[in-house]
Amino acid sequence: MMLFGSEILTTAQMRAIESDAIDSGAATGLQLMERAGTLAAGHIRLANPKPGRAVILCGPGNNGGDGYVVARQLHHAGWSVRVLGLDNMPGPDAAHMKALWQELGPIHPLSDEQLHGEAPADIYVDAIFGTGLTRPADHRIMAILKRLGSDDPRYRDKLYAIDCVSGLCLDCGAMLGWPDDQLSRAPHARMTIAFDSPKPGHLLRPGCLLSGQVVIADIGISAQRRAAATQRQPLHAIRRPGDAAPGLPRLLGKSPEGHKYRHGHAIIVAGAAGHGGAARLSARAALRLGAGLVTLCPPQPAMPEHAGPPDALMRRPIDDGAALADLLTDGRISSICIGPGCGINRAAELLPTALQTRLPCILDADALSAIARDDSLLAQLHDRCVLTPHEGEFSRLFPDIAARLHKAEHQAGKTCHSRIDATRDASARSGAVVLLKGPDTVVAAPTGECCIHSALDVPWLATAGSGDVLAGMAAGLLARAIPPFHAAGLAALLHAEAARQFGPGLIADDLPEQIPSVLRALEV
Ligand SMILES: NC(=O)C1=CN([C@@H]2O[C@H](COP(=O)(O)OP(=O)(O)OC[C@H]3O[C@@H](n4cnc5c(N)ncnc54)[C@H](O)[C@@H]3O)[C@@H](O)[C@H]2O)[C@@H](O)CC1
Ligand SMILES: Nc1ncnc2c1ncn2[C@@H]1O[C@H](COP(=O)(O)OP(=O)(O)O)[C@@H](O)[C@H]1O
Ligand SMILES: [K+]
């Protein structure tokens, strides 16, 4: 699907692919390490064309091995290199790389005192821990990491991380041993050079906030990755809109011979008087995304509140389940959105009717609260439903799954349950597509398919009503017969792009109005 870019690999999958490459004779471990370190050095040099002074921090394992290769390559490129490393016996590949470095220069102790005693450098390379981190770093390494994350201008904006910032769990994005309130003092890399494929921790918070620019170095194991692809549950990053073309214009465009009913009819259920704004935002978004018709359905007493623009919007009062059932006998209706401004009781009353039709459904806000308090509603969900919870709603819907996300045991390196695992579990349990909102939005389908959308650069999306617009966008896409998993991912992409194009000062009302320019830029 044109929506999805790089595959994202867990660390176990990455290790398995690496083993396949070695076992098949495609490459030796030493060759992979040489490529990894050489490519990392290349990216560092591209970002810093003039040779300067580098301090390379090498840990006890293969991540440290990569670091010794970086040190050698920068040295040969004319850099003045200082290496700080551990006095341990690493595995054979890293030991070999360490020995090669020792032919060129000394290894100083890997300690905070040594680091801070060094003359200031132009860059610092973090090759302490990579995918092999199993527990929080000890206090000696912690002191180094705190130094690198400090406000001291000697270290600011100079950090290059090999595979990841040390301490990061690449499977879930957590920083082992770092309480949430201290994360601002964790090392923030300028660039992370990762190998073959991004890992979940590069895209999930807080990892994505600490990784800087993530560049992916091709170490020559893509054939092994592709060969084993069907054995993995698919997990992809959603591309930026510009990269998602050329398929998107065809998907979102309208054919010359189409008429409005060809483009679907979305029903947006609204709530009691005084709460109509949310549903109207959803309705505008559904219209702007090209649903052929959109009907807003408040209860009768709230009808006057919806008299204003947009005139393209149809209104029809729905007072109860029977009225909704009557409306839904119109076979041209192709999606329903329930939740924004709906009221929990009203959502609870209308949901069984909506779900019985098996029409594509967006369930947001109050609909999620209604489902959270009534297991029988959860049991009625189906695979054409899309749930769009933020973290609070997610915790109410799936308290046990959410609790595992924040378990302290993970800080001890024992278990790891990421936002991806949580969203997948929620989707499997509910039988619906689940979109867990945030700057690192995760979408999962009951089939196990999953994708991540990064919107770190558009924090202005955190504004009242922006979720209502997202729900409406997804409703519009569902109305146009885009399958639920893709409709959800695409809504996340277009929503963020609308915010990106508008920029600071954004309020939710601006988002639907920005859709035409987003579509134009996509050449729809
Ligand atoms: N998997 C692959 O395909 C490749 C991996 N490479 C590199 O290898 C790295 C993984 O290497 P390793 O598996 O050796 O793991 P790491 O080098 O990330 O670190 C693990 C080492 O540190 C120890 N350790 C773990 N947690 C610790 C803690 N809290 N305190 C003290 N010691 C701790 C482990 O016992 C082990 O010796 C990757 O991140 C990458 O940099 C590259 O060389 C290229 C290919
Ligand atoms: N810091 C952030 N950066 C990027 N996107 C964000 C951020 N915070 C929230 N969002 C996005 O904004 C939307 C907010 O939705 P929601 O929490 O339901 O708000 P509301 O209920 O006010 O509409 C979601 O799409 C979410 O992914
Ligand atoms: K590292």
Whether 63 and 93 have beta carbons less than 8 Å apart is answered as no
Q: Are residues 217 and 362 in the same domain?
A: no
For residue 126, being part of any structural domain is answered with yes
Say if ligand 2 is within 6 A of residue 389 CB: no
Last residue of a domain, one of 220, 237, 254: 237
pLDDT at res. 411: 62
Q: Are residues 212 and 278 in the same domain?
A: no
Distance CA 458, CA 454 (A): 9
pLDDT at res. 260: 80
Q: Which residues pair with 55 in a beta bridge?
A: 82, 124
Distance CA 163, CA 327 (A): 55
For residue 414, being part of any structural domain is answered with yes
Report the separation in Å between the CA atom of 283 and the middle of ligand 2, taken as the mean of its atom positions: 18
Distance CA 474, CA 337 (A): 9
Using DSSP, state whether 209 is helix, strand or coil. Answer: helix
Q: What is the mean pLDDT of the chain?
A: 95
* Residue pLDDT, tens place only, 347-378: 999 999 999 999 999 999 999 999 999 999 99
Say if ligand 2 is within 6 A of residue 209 CB: no
For residue 163, being part of any structural domain is answered with yes
Q: Are residues 231 and 298 in the same domain?
A: no
The pLDDT of 110-128, averaged and rounded, is 98
Q: Are residues 323 and 459 in the same domain?
A: yes
Q: Are residues 375 and 472 in the same domain?
A: yes
* Pocket probe mutation, ligand 1, options 33, 73, 131, max atoms within 8 Å of Cβ: 131
Q: Are residues 389 and 495 in the same domain?
A: yes
CATH number, domain with residue 371: 3.40.1190.20
CB-based contacts of 122, cutoff 8 Å, min separation 6: 48, 52, 53, 54, 158
Q: Is 132 labelled a binding residue?
A: yes
Q: Are residues 212 and 289 in the same domain?
A: no
Say if ligand 2 is within 6 A of residue 65 CB: no
Q: Are residues 142 and 12 in the same domain?
A: yes
pLDDT category of residue 245 using cuts at 50, 70 and 90: low
Q: Say how many domains are in the chain.
A: 2
* Pocket probe mutation, ligand 2, options 362, 437, 509, max atoms within 8 Å of Cβ: 437
Supply the residue whose CA is at minimum distance from atom 18 of ligand 2. 467
Pairing of strands 440-444, 433-436: antiparallel
pTM of structure: 0.95
For residue 255, being part of any structural domain is answered with no
Whether 359 and 384 have beta carbons less than 8 Å apart is answered as yes
For residue 315, being part of any structural domain is answered with yes
pLDDT category of residue 108 using cuts at 50, 70 and 90: very high
Q: Is 149 labelled a binding residue?
A: no
Last residue of a domain, one of 202, 237, 272: 237
pLDDT category of residue 464 using cuts at 50, 70 and 90: very high
What are the pocket residues of ligand 1 if the criterion is a CB atom closer than 6 Å to any ligand atom?
14-15, 18, 32-33, 36, 59-66, 129-138, 162-163, 195, 219
CATH number, domain with residue 96: 3.40.50.10260
Q: Are residues 208 and 66 in the same domain?
A: yes
Cα separations in angstroms, 340 against 291, 346, 352, 386, 396? 18, 11, 17, 14, 17
Report the separation in Å between the CA atom of 86 and the middle of ligand 1, taken as the mean of its atom positions: 13
Residues that place a CB less than 5 A from ion ligand 3: 126, 161-162, 166
Q: Are residues 458 and 338 in the same domain?
A: yes
Domain that holds residue 159: 4-237
For residue 288, being part of any structural domain is answered with yes
Nearest to 323 by CA among 360, 350, 357, 363: 350
For residue 52, being part of any structural domain is answered with yes
* Residue pLDDT, tens place only, 418-463: 999 999 999 999 999 999 999 999 999 999 999 999 999 999 999 9
pLDDT at res. 409: 60
For residue 197, being part of any structural domain is answered with yes
pLDDT at res. 242: 72
